[in-house]
Amino acid sequence: GDSVTQMEGPVTLSEEAFLTINCTYTATGYPSLFWYVQYPGEGLQLLLKATKADDKGSNKGFEATYRKETTSFHLEKGSVQVSDSAVYFCALRHSGGSNYKLTFGKGTLLTVNP
Amino acid sequence: DTAVSQTPKYLVTQMGNDKSIKCEQNLGHDTMYWYKQDSKKFLKIMFSYNNKELIINETVPNRFSPKSPDKAHLNLHINSLELGDSAVYFCASSQDNSTGYMNTEAFFGQGTRLTVV
């Protein structure tokens, strides 16, 4: 079945540091890939997405590139801020058939210190 | 205007009780979901409905019964609550076209924190 593997957290960085959160997936075919963010006490918000190989999703300074050859979708940001502290989830969804669900990774807690 | 809204936001109840969580979306989406998030933040799909039809029931105990009276609503009723049911429950929705092509993201509600004591 489908699965998503994220790097284990927690990740603690200083403000303006470079961020990478690794995500790899196992799925048949060509799924769509997503990064969601969950701020404390809130629901999940879509951060960015990519729907086909070599697509790059970007939003709020975050980027991730859909790499079919390595089945990866790593999240990066060049300079994190304290306000980026949250839990980040990588997820996939099939682009066909009756697979009506998002499959999530276990989440990575990011804490950014001033 | 809230896109996906759940009520209540917090629910504290005793073991053995029956409770319901309501979810409504005003996005015009045709697919709705319930996810359970445990204390370690792990998200697991429970149910998925498309056009009011149950599509996914992911080995959830029979004590959990979803009901979708129309495309905009998906409620979750839980019978005989147990301590292990304590979690945050998220409702979500997405739009999936008739050909089954789904690359659209899901929109999530704020969650219902259920505590069983």
Mutate one of B41, B45, B59 to test the A interface: name it (highest A CB count within 10 A): B41
> Which residue of A43, A95, A101 is in closest CB contact with B101?
A95
CA atoms of B60 and A13, how far apart (whole Å): 38
- pLDDT for residue A97: 56
pLDDT mean across residues, chain B: 91
Find the DSSP H helices in chain B: none
A59–B contact, CB cutoff 8 A: no
Return the residue matching tokens 């999240």. A75
Q: Quick one: average pLDDT of B3-24? A: 97
Q: In this structure, which amino acid lies at residue A102?
A: L
CA atoms of B56 and A64, how far apart (whole Å): 29
Nearest-by-CA chain B residue for A49: B105
Give residue-wise pLDDT tens across range A82-113: 999 999 999 998 765 556 788 999 999 999 99
Give residue-wise pLDDT tens across range B31-78: 999 999 999 999 999 999 988 888 888 878 999 999 999 999 999 999
Q: Do B43 and A32 touch (CB under 8 A)?
A: no
Q: How far is B15 from chain A (nearest CA, A)?
A: 24
- pLDDT for residue B101: 52
Q: Quick one: average pLDDT of A2-24? A: 95
Q: How far is CA A103 from the centre of its chain?
A: 12
What spatial distance separates the first Cα and last Cα of chain A, rounded to whole Å?
41
